[in-house]
Structure 1
């Protein structure tokens, strides 16, 4: 007899369970010598795992391991976390913030009372500004042209994030009216701005190429910016057609492309990402195994993709082995079905590979801090374009009267650039502080902060011949007993 796993969720019953058993969070600094354990115990709901991971990654915390169990109506998870320097989380205000934020993410509350005295990274979402979302074919000077049009139309950029992958480009830019300092809500003006930006994106595109330009006024609720970028590139099908290794594009052309890969081998210059899917008929799950170079926010990227593709993670084990990250997920589709069709498995493999690699940054990383003003992004990207440089990734925002951000740049062929030349031309143009963070082209294990140990070689280690699933099953009873003493 065939068993049909189709979960049924009663919303009123979920609310009752949540009132009786509210989320519990324990911050444990005693169990492990080299990391802090964040233990979460909560009623289960689709997307809760992503909410938890999002909170921790938004605080720039490094998740080196995680054990997840969310079968049935309950969710239990343990995250092994450190700060970016590999230290435990000991700041009481930060611990209190994590506890508040994890509970708030479960209960759907957006406002948090916190006494955090440290600056956060650029905003992960803006609900007060007008948002521009763009996807299209990557080409030289695209980001520069978009930001120039915005400056010409009196749109002040308050935050922006741009990714490139597989000759495709996506960006989200938050803007406000330069004169009033408020969001742009006039429908006629929004339509005019959108029309001009569509002309920019259309330029040099071939007939029938995919593109999207969308301006939206402020909204009380918006999707997390990085999650939205994943959604945009997934909808743009950046996973479909991969360029040969060594080719590809960034904002302005160049960059290092990736090819579709599986366990049979890797292309020249690839990052060695391996994704496989098998069905576990005994347990009624599909098992997704991923192995890639370790880097910050890797867990967020994979969980985000699985969640947005409507898959539910019932169990998972994530760990770092030297410079390599190994992730194993026991999943079903939200409708309760496993991945039985080869076409579905192949699509999930392609989408997860793209999610892992679209955030991999190639080129020279530059951190920029200077006085904020109208047209600043346009000026910086124009300097890059005029000096034969391309932006493969960008993340900028404002803190008070200053603009801060990071740019990854290469030459138009995707090769290394002279850091001294880049710094000098930017300083002459915009002033402020320009710091070279990484002089290498492409991601390297030495630059990762999410591994506790480092590999001596540059190659990808052979896949370990054991299953993290067996480790997970043996740990579940121990994890359950640990949650018995969790206190807020």
Structure 2
């Protein structure tokens, strides 16, 4: 009954997007108003990120039953968003009631096709790993259509789209897939690895690839610090600063982050919080001089703030990992 009421509210109050190129001198302002729905913040950020737009500021508010976000965005050249095709797509996609609607993806590495096999890999990172994986796939007559691989904290994860190099279509033979899995797992296994390497097949286009890589590395517990990697980051002075504390008078948990700014940073943070089953009620994002400051007021999806110190520490570790992972993105 509650679900039907929520659907009625959304029909009565459809999402509304206002795109303003006049109010701000150096950025396009995008305001999104909608009935609150779990995952909508991630959807909005994902749409903007996949269009290769840079979010320089953001103001988030989703208290009660209403969601309102304001984003200042520019393109990769530092200009306002002027293309009618892009503006129309943003409005059409974000004003759709279906937050899983197909997205216009303009960046290399976000292609999706029914004519390939999607392979997910996890294992121990080491020099030469990528070339060994490619060599195995070549020997097995697999053509790499596109791929994305991240390494973090001595772990590696990849989503690779392959096709048969003679037909150009997806590989469906179970015996051949079993051979591919056995050989890739053999390559991925490190000499002292206590965690087993994994290769799984996934349907293309089901989950956004950047989000899937976060999920794979999170499941592989890459956020648990390896001492030598942590020491190296500290020497460079580039470690993100993440704090988690209580806001007892408002019954929220507050998260603040300072880190080096980079493309897709906001997507990575919101993706991680969403997949960890937290809801952002209020938030602010500011970037300047290559530094990003983020502040979020969150609760768990059950409506409760974080109460245990162990959970606070885990959130800090996971957000630090989310900030650091994409720095090692290749392909």
TM-score normalised to structure 2 length: 0.94
Give the 5 Å matches for 1:123-272.
123-124=109-110, 126-128=112-114, 129-202=116-189, 204-206=190-192, 208-216=194-202, 218-219=203-204, 221-244=205-228, 257-258=232-233, 267-272=234-239
Q: Give how far 1:245 is off.
A: 5.3
Secondary structure, counterpart of 1:303 in structure 2:
helix
CA contact (8 A) 2:124 2:193 kept: no
3-state SS of 1:190 partner: helix
**1:281 maps onto 2:217 in alignment:** no
Distance 1:171 1:270, change over 3 A: farther
CA distance in 1 between partners of 2:7 and 2:216 (Å) = 32
Match of 1:79 in 2: 71
Aligned residues of 1:166 and 1:241 also touching (Cα < 8 A): yes
Q: Equivalents in 2 of 1:111, 1:342: separation in Å?
A: 39
Among residues 100, 103, 107, which one is paired with 2:98 in the alignment? 107
Distance change >3 Å, CA 31–CA 198, structure 1 → 2? same
CA-to-aligned-CA distance 1:354-391 (integer Å, 9 cap, x gap): 10011124xxxxxxxxxxxxxxxxxxxxxxxxxxxxxx
Deviation at 1:20, TM superposition (A): 1.3
1:342 counterpart residue number: 309
Say which is worse superposed, 344-353 or 122-131, in terms of deviation: 122-131
Aligned-residue offset at 1:174: 0.4
* 1:418-429 paired onto structure 2 within 5 Å: none
Separation in structure 2 between the aligned mates of residue 305 and residue 83 of structure 1, nearest angstrom: 24
What is residue 292 of structure 2 aligned with on the other side?
Answer: 325
Specify whether residues 314 and 73 from structure 1 end up closer, same or farther in structure 2 by C-alpha distance, changes over 3 A only: same
Q: Of residues 16, 24, 45 in structure 2, which corresponds to 1:53?
A: 45
Q: Is the 8 A contact 2:42 2:271 kept in 1?
A: yes
Distance 1:243 1:162 in 2: 23
Q: How far did residue 109 of structure 1 move?
A: 5.3
CA contact (8 A) 2:43 2:99 kept: no
- Distance 1:207-1:39 versus aligned 2 partners, 3 A rule: closer
> Is 1:95 matched up with 2:82?
no
Question: In 2, are the aligned partners of 1:289 and 1:328 still within 8 Å (CA)?
Answer: yes
Give the Cα–Cα distance (whole angstroms) in 2 for the partners of residues 108 and 127 of structure 1: 20
The 1:314/1:127 distance shift into structure 2, 3 A limit, reads farther
Q: Distance in 2 between the 1:246 and 1:350 partners?
A: 11
Consecutive unaligned residues in structure 2, runs of 5 or more: none
Residues 127 and 10 (structure 1), Cα distance of their counterparts in 2 relative to 1, 3 Å cut: farther
1:109/1:242 Cα in 2 relative to 1: closer, same or farther (>3 Å)?
closer
> Contact 1:167 / 1:243 at 8 angstroms: preserved in 2?
no
Instruction: Kindly state the Cα deviation for residue 103 of structure 1 after the two structures are TM-superposed.
Output: 2.6
- Structure 1 residues 319 and 305 mapped into 2: Cα distance closer, same or farther (>3 Å)? same
Q: What is the CA distance between 1:240 and its match in structure 2?
A: 0.6
Superposed CA RMSD in Å reads 1.9
Conserved 8 A contact 1:69-1:77: yes
Q: Deviations over 1:313-338 (max 9, x none)?
A: 00100001322110000000111111
Q: Which has the larger radius of gyration?
A: 1
Q: TM-score, normalised by structure 1?
A: 0.65
Provide the residue aligned with 1:431 in structure 2: none
Distance 1:201 1:272, change over 3 A: closer
8 Å contact from structure 1 (residues 127, 222) kept in 2: no
Instruction: State the distance in 2 between where 1:83 and 1:159 align.
Output: 24
| More displaced stretch, 78-87 vs 268-277 | 268-277
Aligned with 1:43 (options 35, 45, 49): 35
* Alignment check: 8 A CA contact 1:190 1:215 kept: no
Deviation at 1:37, TM superposition (A): 0.3
CA-CA distance at 1:127 after TM superposition = 4.7
